[in-house]
Amino acid sequence: MDRFELRHNDFSLDEEQEAISSAARALLRNESPPRVVRAAEPMGYDAHLWTQLRDFGAVSIGVPARSGGAGGSFIDLMLVAEQVGAFTAPVPMISQAVVARLLVETGQPELLAGVLSGERPIALAPDSLDRPQLVPDAALVRDIIGLDRNGLMLLSLSEAPAHAPNQGNTPLAWVEPKGDRRLLVDGERAAQLHAQALTEWRLLMAAALVGLTDSALWSGVEFAKTRETMGVSIGSLQGVSFQLADVAIAVGGARNLVRKAAWMHEHMRGVRPELAAMAFATANRVATEGCYTAVHVQGGLGFTVEADVSLFFLRAKGWGALMGDPAREYEHVGDVLAARGRDDLTCGHTRQPIAVGARE
């Protein structure tokens, strides 16, 4: 395929997308200020906020109306996830949105209804259910979906696993490989669906990390505008302002990359399968570097727990590290490039669908 192929390259939001994004932002600005985020620590869960966000549609917009959802798109979820990140909202939005979509695919309406209503949340295990592992949001649930050698399973526990307090203040918990198991999907399709759910998880997390880094950036910018040293604003010093400019560049590019990956996932799935890995690895890098800068320009004050920027810094890694090493994402991109035909030497403009690999 042809990297000189002519494609639209439009990152802008349409009216409806703009409305969803700004409504989510308005809701979270009111309901998830730093005070609420801190109050939810160390678990990283606010039941009241979660109810409000679910009512807003943070899970249901990703589910078709015929399956009991609000019938939005994956792109809408991506826009909400960005705002969840921007306000470091202590809610399991990403895992629940992903699991709900997975249950649409597996065809378990009763489980889906429990996730949509919030009455029976379900976590998603990234690794094989045959060994103990840390599962995101598992401290909030009694049911976990994951893979074992039989297929995609629902693991049901008698009680929610104990919270494993962690740097990112998320409801992480150790899940042991014991409890009742129910087969949801078997065969090759099980691994494919699991891989697709992880891809969606990474894409939504990428969006959240972009939102988070953007907020960290503006916290750094506001500090740099008001703080003075030796009679001048530190924001007028290029040693400071250039670092912040680099974060602005990183956030701008990462946001667009995430949008493009989400759009392709929604509308032309399989055409650019490496974009999701690119988006996650980039957002992860940008969050790590950007939040460091946002903390560092605030000097010693940025290092204190009172500084709101600390909320962003600790979650940049605390959220980003939940689904594995970004270098694996780069390797996956390399795998996709390696699998492409000899006449398809491209760094990514192609629209030729490639064989769907193990990842998705």
Partner 1 sequence: MDFSPVQLNAQQQSVRDEIVAVLDDLVDDELLDRMHRNGDVSDNEFVRKLAKHRLSLPRWPVERGGRALDETLVRVLENELDRRRAPRDINSNIWGAAEQHGSPELHDEVRPKLLRGEARLCLGYTESESGSDIAGAKLRAVKDGDDWVLNGSKIFTTGAEAADYVFLLTRTDPDAPKHRGLTMFLAPLKTPGVEIQAIRTFGGERTNAVYFTDVRIADRYRLGAVNDGWTVLRGPLDKEHDFGQKSHSLKEPFGMWVIRRSPLEHAFEDALKWAKETVLEDGSRPIDDPVVRTRLGRIATDIEFALCTDGPLGRVAAADVMTAASAELVDLIGPRALLPKGAPGAIERGDIEYAHRFAQGNATYMGTVEVFRQMIAQHVLGLPRPHMGRAK
Point out which residues bind partner 1 (CB under 8 A). Answer: 3-14, 17, 75, 217, 221, 224-225, 230-233, 235-238, 241-242, 244-246, 248-249, 252-254, 256-257, 259-260, 263-264, 267-268, 274-275, 277-278, 281-282, 327, 329-338, 342, 345-348, 351
Nearer to partner 1, 162 or 245 (CB): 245
Nearer to partner 1, 98 or 333 (CB): 333
Nearer to partner 1, 125 or 221 (CB): 221
Tell me the two tokens of residue 359. Answer: 């990842």
Tell me 160's DSSP state.
P
Q: How far from 275 is each of 13, 47, 105, 264, 331, CA to CA, in Å?
A: 19, 34, 22, 8, 13
Least separation in angstroms between CB 83 and partner 1: 17
Q: How far from 121 is each of 97, 112, 183, CA to CA, in Å?
A: 10, 9, 18
Beta bridge partners of 143: 122, 156
Asked whether the bond before 34 is cis by omega within 30 degrees of 0, the reply is: no
Least separation in angstroms between CB 278 and partner 1: 4
Least separation in angstroms between CB 329 and partner 1: 8
Ordered DSSP codes for 312-344: HHHHHHHHHGGG--HHHHHHHHHHHHHHS-TT-
Least separation in angstroms between CB 244 and partner 1: 6
Nearer to partner 1, 164 or 237 (CB): 237
Residue with tokens 């297929």: 151
Least separation in angstroms between CB 186 and partner 1: 30
Tell me 179's DSSP state.
S
Beta bridge partners of 183: 153
Tell me 163's DSSP state.
B
Nearer to partner 1, 91 or 244 (CB): 244
